[in-house]
């Protein structure tokens, strides 16, 4: 009997191949033929699911955004299970655990950051990728706003300015900057250092940062 192929799983496997190619060789190297070879498939199999190079890249970028979003939402459901209000535990530490999902602390998340950066750069000259490339940035800001709103509702943002929108922009920029630095400069790819920077920033918002000497 012929092997039954799950179309959803096959498309995700092809997306994984796109990620590997893009992370190591760049977006322009992710041709249908190159991706098929990386996935161990005939090029006809890839063309069966993706009619063009642009369609392949668009799907891969949407899949990347979906995977990160789903992972973060699982953390949100665990720590903010109801309306978004923080549970009666330590909101700052919970916020840290959620936001750390956005940083390249291990190889899979490093690859995600590298792929996102490659797509963001490519989107400057490829209009079909522009909207999808911006989506992760919007998602990061939305997540940060939700976390800070929950912390504000719990009354722990003692060190914040009270301007939630500005604090959201500031924290989102910090996360984006840490991820960018880790991808561009491997010498700065230090998970402990990234954790420490995020922890210090959150401590400054809650008023628990240690004074400098």
Phi-psi region of 13 (alpha: psi -120 to 50; beta: other; left: phi over 0): alpha
Q: Is the pLDDT of residue 174 over 90?
A: yes
Q: How confident is the model at residue 162 (pLDDT cuts 50, 70, 90)?
A: low
Q: For tokens 């400057």, what's the residue? A: 124
Q: What is the pLDDT of residue 200?
A: 93
pLDDT tens per residue, range 59-70: 888 898 888 888
Cα–Cα distance for residue pair 156/40, rounded to 1 Å: 51
CATH code: domain 58-206 is: 1.10.357.10
Return the ∠ at Cα 131 (arms to 56 and 29), rounded to 5°.
35
5: helix, strand or coil: coil
Q: How confident is the model at residue 35 (pLDDT cuts 50, 70, 90)?
A: very high
Q: What is the pLDDT of residue 3?
A: 62
Q: Is the pLDDT of residue 84 over 50?
A: no
- What is the b/e burial string over 33-51, where b = at least 16 CB atoms within 10 angstroms of the residue's CB? ebbbebbebeeeebeebbe
Q: What is the mean pLDDT of the chain?
A: 84
Region of poorest pLDDT, from 110-114, 152-156, 203-207: 152-156
The DSSP code sequence of 104-130 is --SHHHHHHHHHHHHHHHHHTT-HHHH
pLDDT tens per residue, range 97-149: 889 999 999 998 998 899 989 988 888 888 888 887 888 888 889 889 988 88
Q: What is the pLDDT of residue 151?
A: 83
Q: How confident is the model at residue 88 (pLDDT cuts 50, 70, 90)?
A: very low
Give the helix, strand, coil percentages of the chain, each rounded to 5: 75, 0, 25
Q: For tokens 């291990």, what's the residue? A: 106
Number of C-beta neighbours around residue 99 at 10 A:
24
Q: Is the pLDDT of residue 189 over 60?
A: yes
- What is the b/e burial string over 118-132, where b = at least 16 CB atoms within 10 angstroms of the residue's CB? bbbebbeebeebeeb
What is the arithmetic mean of pLDDT over 8-32? 91
- Residue 177 has, within 13 A of its CA and on its CB side, a CA count of 8
Q: What is the pLDDT of residue 81?
A: 58
């Amino acid at each position: 009997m012929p092997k039954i192929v799950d179309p959803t799983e096959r498309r995700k496997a092809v997306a994984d191949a796109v990620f590997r190619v893009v992370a190591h060789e760049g977006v322009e190297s992710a041709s249908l033929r190159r991706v098929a070879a990386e996935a161990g498939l005939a090029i006809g199999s890839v063309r069966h699911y993706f009619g063009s190079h642009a369609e392949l890249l668009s799907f891969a970028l949407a899949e990347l955004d979906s995977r990160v979003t789903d992972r973060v939402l699982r953390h949100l459901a665990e720590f903010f299970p109801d309306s978004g209000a923080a549970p009666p535990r330590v909101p700052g530490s919970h916020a840290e655990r959620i936001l750390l999902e956005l940083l390249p602390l291990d190889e899979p998340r490093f690859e995600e950051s590298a792929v996102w950066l490659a797509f963001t750069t490519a989107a400057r000259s490829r209009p079909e990728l522009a909207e999808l490339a911006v989506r992760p940035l919007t998602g990061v800001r939305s997540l940060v706003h939700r976390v800070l709103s929950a912390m504000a509702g719990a009354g722990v943002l003692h060190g914040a300015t009270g301007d939630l929108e500005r604090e959201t922009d500031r924290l989102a920029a910090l996360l984006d900057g840490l991820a960018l630095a880790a991808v561009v400069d491997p010498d700065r790819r230090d998970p402990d250092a990234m954790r420490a920077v995020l922890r210090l920033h959150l401590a400054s918002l809650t008023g628990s940062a240690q004074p400098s000497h």
